[in-house]
Amino acid sequence: MSVDEQIRETDGAVVSTTLGKLRGVSRNGVEIFRGIPYAAPPTGDRRFRAPAPAAGWSGIREAKAWPESCPQERRFDTGLLRWYRSAMTENEDCLYLNVFTPAPDGKKRPVMVWYHGGAFATGAGTAPGFEGSALARRGDVVVVTVNHRLNVFGYFHPGPDADDNFADSANAGMLDLVASLEWVRDNIAAFGGDPDSVTIFGESGGGGKVGRLLHMPAAKGLFHRAILQSSGLRSATPEQGSKAAAHLLEQFGWTPAEAAKLRDVPSDKLLAARLKTVDALGFDPFEPIPDGHNLPEAPFSEGAPEISAGIPIMIGTCNNEAYYLLIEQKGAFEMTREDAVGRIQALNNLEKAAAEEIYTLYDQKTPGNKPVDVYADVLTDQRFRMNSLRCARLKAEQGTAPAYLYRFTWNSPAQGGKYRAIHTIEVPFVFGTMDTATELVGTGPELGPLCDKVMGAWIAFARTGDPNAPGLPQWDPYDGETCGTMLLDIEPTFVQDPPGPELQALAGNGIRASLSRTV
C-alpha cells in the first residue's frame, strides 16, 4: 500500500456478523474489512482436520490488518510475478478472509469470491494484485478474497492406516473454501451483498479450486456462477497421495499408522519434509485428491459435474501461458529446434517421430516463431488450453447451463514483448490493479480501455451469468461444433475456433496435463 493510500484510509463502518461486530477501514469510496475469521485456527490438535467453527467475540473487533498466509515455499519470485504474491508473513493460523464493499447498507449486490493461485502449494488472497477495491467500486459488487490451507497442511493423504482424525486431511484445504462460502452465506448480507448471487472465481490453482468446488457435495447451493481462469485441473490419485505421505513420514521414522505424531512437528520442519518428498517423487501430490466423500471424483474426469449442472461457467486461458514455466530456466530462451523436440519427447514419453510431428505442426501454426516459442505453445495447450476446451465441451454437452469460452490474446509490451500473453496476465485487468504489475503489463494508455472490457465482462457474468458487456462483440455460449471463443484484446473479437491439427496431434498421442514439475 502506498503512502497516499494510507493517508486516505480512515476508520470505516461497524458491521454486525454472526460472530460479533467488525470495524474496517474506508478508502476511496470502498469499505474494507481485513482478516475476518471464517473458521477456527487449524493448529495443534486441529492440524489436518476439517475446519471447525470460529469463536465469537464481544465488543468491536478491528478488521484493519491483513491476515497471514499459510506456510509455503517461495517460487517464481521474479519481478514479473511478484505482484501475484503476498508480502505478508506466514502462519498456520490462516483461515481468514477480506471483504471489499461499496457500502454495508443492506443492498443486495452480486458477490465475487476470489480463490488465489499458486497451484495448491503457494500464494495468498492478500497479494497486491488481488486488492478488490477497484472491482467492487466499478461493478457495484462485493468482493471477497480468502486465505486457506495449502500444500501439506491442506492436502495430506496418509491412507486407511491413519486414524479417523485424518478422514478429511486429503481435502482439508478445499473444506476451508467451503467454510468460507458458508461464512458468505451467513454474513455477506450485512456487508451489502446478496448470498443468493455468489460467483466463485480463480486463476491457475485458484481455477483448479473453483473446478473442484463444482464437484463437492458440501459446496452445493453456496455459489451460483463460476469462473475458471487458466486452470490445468490435473489431479493426483489416492495412490500417489498415499505414496507421498509415506515418504514424508519416513523422514521422521514413522509409518502411516503413526501419522498423528505429525501434529507435534513444527511447521517449518513439516514444510521442509514436504519439499524433500516433492523433489524425490518429481511431482507435487500435495493437492486435492478424490477421496470418495468430500471430493467424489477428479474434476471433469467423466463429464461435467451433475451436482452443479445448473451453474453457468466462464472458462479460458491466456495465449502464451507457459512462458512463466521457462522464465528462470537458464538457456531456455536460446533452445534449438532439437532441444524443443527433445523436451516434447521426454515430457510425454513419446517416440521421436511423434515429437517431431507435434513440433512441425506448431511451427507451421505460427511461422517465424523461435523454438522456445513453439515449445511454449505446446506447453500452453497441454497444460491449460486442452483442459479449458474439454471443460467447455462437457458443460455444453450437459446442456443445462451455458459455458462461455475466452482466450486472452493481448501481448504485453513489457520486457520488450518477450512474454506476450503470459500466465496470470489477465488478472490485473480483472481487478484493476495494473499499477501493481507494471513489470508484467507495462504502462500506457491502452491499459485502461482493456481493463474496462475485461473487468466489464467479469462483472456482467457475476451479475447475470452472461459475460456480454459494453465494448465486446456478441459473446455466444460455447458449443462443440462452432467452438465460439471470445478473444480478449484491445479490440476483442468473437471467433469460431475449433481445435486445429496441432491440438489433434496432442490428443492423438494421448498427451494430457502432466503432474511433473519438469518442463
Residue 352 identity:
K
Q: 388: exposed, middle or buried (C-beta count within 10 Å: 0-12, 13-18, 19+)? A: buried
In 3D, which of 37, 42, 39, 13 has the Cα closest to residue 25?
Answer: 13
Question: What dihedral angle (degrees, nearest 10) is formed by the CA atoms of 507, 510, 515, 519?
Answer: -70
Q: Which are the catalytic amino acids? A: 204, 321, 423
Instruction: Look at the block and give the residue holding cell 480512515.
Output: 10
How far, in Å, CA of 454 to CA of 469, rounded? 9
Phi-psi region of 242 (alpha: psi -120 to 50; beta: other; left: phi over 0): alpha
Long-range contacts, 217-222 (Cβ 8 Å, 24+)? 217/293, 217/294, 217/296, 217/307, 218/175, 218/178, 218/294, 219/177, 219/178, 219/181, 220/307, 220/308, 222/178, 222/181, 222/182, 222/184, 222/185, 222/198
Angle at 447 between CA 446 and CA 450, to 5 degrees: 85
Helix (H, G, I), strand (E, B) or coil at 351: coil
How many C-alpha atoms does 426 have within 13 Å on its Cβ side? 32
Helices 205-213 and 172-187 meet at what angle, rounded to 10? 70
183/206 Cα distance (integer angstroms): 19
**Residue whose cell numbers read 500466465:** 423
Considering all CA atoms of the chain, what is the largest pairwise distance in Å, rounded to the nearest integer? 71
CA distance 366 to 349: 25
